[in-house]
Structure 1
Amino acid sequence: MMMRRIIRSVATRGRLIAMSLVGLIGILIGVAINRSDPGSDFVPAEFLDGFGLIIFVPLVALVISTATIGDMLEERNLVYYWLRPIGRWKITLAAWLGAIVVLLPLVLIPMGVLGAIIGTGDDVAGILVGSLIGIVAYSAVFTMLGAFTQRALVVGLVYILLWEGVIAGFSRTAGWFALRTYTRSALANVADVALLDQPPQTTSIVLVTIAVALAAGLITTWRLNTMDVD
């Protein structure tokens, strides 16, 4: 019941249309590339990486996931759950799973279509696996962010653009703390393309994703346990 309410709250018409349009832009670009005969130098996985995993997946996850708890705080609806004997971890889990339910079709459908337009079966599999890793990890982190600040969208954009887009690109150590490293590595491993130097193996990617989701969930639960709700 709680998860259904969260899904209805975050899956507003405006958000769904806006994010779907971003995905449609990628598909239209893919159609244009396919019709232009890009030549043998074109690597489909590189475009899927650049548009899908660097831009689309984190952006959509940010918009949807920060709203799961963030909307309840802004609208002061969280107090109703406080009045019931509901464990805070259940709220965290419902928010995270609710975000994932919304994100799965919103992300995987356009990414799968884009991969099929410009690439091979390996490219499609790679972008779907990379996107799935991104959905799980980003949704956990951005759900946590929504529990801490009403400016979660701004903070999340700073993380995506500054940390993942700039700092992680200049520092290999910082790169290990960027979720993008693991989504891109998943694509590279499945599609068998060189997108990064020495990308982590699939087992490491899965373990890191689980660890990130668990840590973010614990921090979110701690935040819910310690915050005052009017």
Structure 2
Amino acid sequence: MFTAFHPTVARLTYRALLGRRRALVLGILPALLVLISVAVRLLADGDPQSSTDVLGRFALAAMVPIIGVIAGTGAIGPEIDDGSVMYLLAKPVKRRTVLFTKLVVAIAVTMVFSAVPTLVAALILVGTTDGIAVAYTVAALVASVAYASLFLMLGTITRHAVVVGLVYTLIWETLLGSYVPGARSLSVQQWALAVGADLAEGKLITSEVGTVTGAVLLTVVTVVAAWYGARRLRSLTPATEE
């Protein structure tokens, strides 16, 4: 479905996402995570349970999806809202190429602002003990891909994508996905944890689903969201490409 990457579209998208104000917003939660990690390390002295609580309930359940909302919706939503996307789509660039390029940028930004701080926080909290840092970093990386795709698609559907995305993140992923057993199995964070859990020793990291199931569900959500986002993007203008 996606066959090309367009450097000009990528450059414009990076500029839109990493402008002064948006970059500041993107950096708030990672900075807070690192500060919390330092405080927990000083107060709990590397207690594994306290560390996994910070990494699981704050980093993976809250920070990663919120950054995914900002990066995913910001990669396409503002252009649709102000109509400037029509100028882009009028160029001789295939719609699926535009969507794919924006998705790659959104994924990259989400990874940098979520997986990297997660790794730093984990190293502060537990160092390399029991593979916890690697497990949560991998979980943040794979979750970044799914969230970016999901929220990029959302940006093609509604002008209120940020609000809808934040409501989904705070209610489903952060609350229900962390505490309600039935909802946990339908949570991106749990699927990502399933992928990362195998890299950790012991039973400190658990998930409601198995590793294979988590990986399959993450792949399905990513591909379907990207496909539908491209379809929505094509519907914005008359199809003129081959």
TM-score normalised over the length of structure 1: 0.89
Question: How far does residue 217 in structure 1 lie from its aligned partner after superposition?
Answer: 0.8
Question: How far does residue 26 in structure 1 lie from its aligned partner after superposition?
Answer: 1.2
- Identify which of 16, 19, 24 aligns with 1:9: 16
Q: Give SS of 2:49's match.
A: coil
1:78-123 per-residue CA deviation (whole Å, 9 max, x = no partner) reads 1122222322111110111111222222222211110000013211
Describe the shift of the 1:74–1:39 C-alpha distance in structure 2 as closer, same or farther (beyond 3 A): closer
Q: How does 1:14-93 map to 2 (within 5 A)?
A: 14-38=21-45, 40=47, 42-93=49-100
Moved more, 90-99 or 101-110: 101-110
Inter-partner Cα distance in structure 2 for 1:50 and 1:194: 13
Q: Give SS of 2:199's match.
A: helix
Is residue 231 of structure 2 the alignment partner of residue 222 of structure 1? yes
Question: How far does residue 18 in structure 1 lie from its aligned partner after superposition?
Answer: 2.1
Q: State the percentage of identical aligned residues.
A: 23
Q: Give SS of 2:83's match.
A: coil
Inter-partner Cα distance in structure 2 for 1:161 and 1:112: 22
Question: How far does residue 196 in structure 1 lie from its aligned partner after superposition?
Answer: 4.1
Inter-partner Cα distance in structure 1 for 2:104 and 2:114: 15
Inter-partner Cα distance in structure 2 for 1:214 and 1:184: 19
Match of 1:103 in 2: 110
Describe the shift of the 1:205–1:153 C-alpha distance in structure 2 as closer, same or farther (beyond 3 A): same
Q: Give SS of 1:33's match.
A: helix
Q: Give SS of 2:115's match.
A: helix
Question: How far does residue 166 in structure 1 lie from its aligned partner after superposition?
Answer: 4.2
- Identify which of 200, 208, 213 aligns with 1:204: 213
Q: Which runs of 5+ in 1 are unaligned?
A: none
1:6-52 per-residue CA deviation (whole Å, 9 max, x = no partner) reads 11111111121222122111111111111124475734223211111
Match of 1:123 in 2: 132
Describe the shift of the 1:194–1:35 C-alpha distance in structure 2 as closer, same or farther (beyond 3 A): closer
Inter-partner Cα distance in structure 2 for 1:81 and 1:40: 52
Inter-partner Cα distance in structure 1 for 2:65 and 2:92: 34
Letter in 1 for 2:62: I
Moved more, 41-50 or 126-135: 41-50
Inter-partner Cα distance in structure 2 for 1:128 and 1:196: 15
Is residue 146 of structure 2 the alignment partner of residue 137 of structure 1? yes
- Between the two proteins, the alignment pairs up a number of residues equal to 227
Q: Give SS of 1:190's match.
A: coil
Q: Give SS of 1:2's match.
A: helix
Inter-partner Cα distance in structure 2 for 1:136 and 1:40: 30
Letter in 2 for 1:118: L
1:49–1:187: 8 Å Cα contact kept in structure 2?
no
2:95–2:234: 8 Å Cα contact kept in structure 1?
yes
Inter-partner Cα distance in structure 1 for 2:207 and 2:80: 42
Match of 1:189 in 2: 198
Q: Which runs of 5+ in 2 are unaligned?
A: 1-7
Root mean square deviation of aligned Cα: 2.1
Question: How far does residue 143 in structure 1 lie from its aligned partner after superposition?
Answer: 0.2
Inter-partner Cα distance in structure 2 for 1:191 and 1:112: 14
